[in-house]
Amino acid sequence: MVLLRFYHLVYVVVIATIFCFISYQSAQAYDAQVTIINGTANHCRPNLSCYSPFQVNISVGDTVTWINQDNRTHTVTTGTSNYGPQGIFDSGTIKPGQSFTQFFGSVGKYGYYDKTDMWPSGYVVVSKGFSHAELSWVNDSLTVEKQNYTSNGLVITKQIQNTGNADADSIIFTLKIKNQTSLFYNGLVKLDIPAKQSVPVIFVWSNPPGGQYQLFFDANSANNAGDMNANDDRSLDLISVPSSTPAQNEPVPIVHENFTLSDNTASVPEFSTTSYLVLMISLVSIVVLSARSGLKL
């Protein structure tokens, strides 16, 4: 009876270990995003393809989400416009504003096209242990200060971090400043973001008029080779610029930071390797203590 109870406990631990391993693999998966850009009627020129980026590189177990930002319906279908569908996956009709997500469980290079248009095409390259960059704006890192004593310009700085295991080189960062009716600033900078580091992204806005403004920060996912989470590459902040010019290095009031612009990110429990190790130790301890208690009885 005691031995049977012990085997039952071992069986529970084995099942829990398999479950934890599967959950851990799921928690490590990424969702790469591809935009079906507006302008397919003109073949999306001067872009290489109407799918942006044209090629995404992911690991086995990752997903890719295609978002239709065009005003026409499209599909994401494996195959080519010359030879037709291959039958691996087919999104069906993706209406404007809608999306389609595909899971990739096998290594390979998957070419796809749009059955409603002969022009758009793209590739998904799936490999094992793919190294990638992962960019996101750092919460509460926005600073806005006067440029210098002789200028009415504002220096706007926000930190970007790369939590991935590969460098992100030549990334284009943009900032658009708007109020309710007009665009007041549209600037870009190009930076390299080393793996596991954060870097300040700096813009200078010359002679801003007083008022409240929206700051739209974006790390251009179309040029992020291997960047898996485009949702975190965008941030919206609100600032209030006083009518009177602030003194040098005097901060400009920040009304609110870090609005979420895209709500497509899947919620995945963030369990680390240490968490799983602690769980396994706890389960083994329960088995040992239970076995000892049973033997004493």
Using a cut of 0.75, tell me whether the model's pTM lies above it: no
Residue 273: which pLDDT band, with cuts at 50, 70 and 90?
very low
Q: Is residue 277 part of a domain?
A: yes
Residues 219 and 178 sit within 8 Å (Cβ to Cβ)? no
Asked whether residue 3 carries a pLDDT value surpassing 90, the answer given is no
From 79, 94, 127, give the residue that closes a domain. 127
Number of structural domains in the chain: 3
- The H or E element containing residue 27 is helix 2-27
Q: Which two tokens stand for residue 171?
A: 């990334």
- Co-location of 22 and 35 in the same domain: no
| Sheet with 55-59, edge to edge strand ranges | 55-59, 121-127, 108-113, 77-80, 84-90
- Domain extent, residue 202, equals 135-252
Task: Tell me what pLDDT residue 157 has.
Answer: 93
- Co-location of 52 and 157 in the same domain: no
Task: Tell me what pLDDT residue 222 has.
Answer: 47
Q: Is residue 88 part of a domain?
A: yes
Residue 14: which pLDDT band, with cuts at 50, 70 and 90?
low
Rg (the chain; Cα; Å): 25
Per-residue pLDDT tens over the stretch 139-173: 888 888 888 766 778 899 999 988 877 788 888 88
Q: Is residue 267 part of a domain?
A: no
Q: Which two tokens stand for residue 224?
A: 């992020």
**CATH at residue 169:** 2.60.40.10
Among 178, 177, 175, 149, residue whose Cα is nearest residue 245: 149
> What Cα–Cα distance (Å) separates residue 90 from each residue in 74, 84, 93, 137, 276?
11, 12, 9, 34, 36
Q: Is residue 262 part of a domain?
A: no
Residues 143 and 157 sit within 8 Å (Cβ to Cβ)? yes
The mean predicted confidence, pLDDT, of the chain is 74
Return the higher-pLDDT residue of 249 and 148: 148
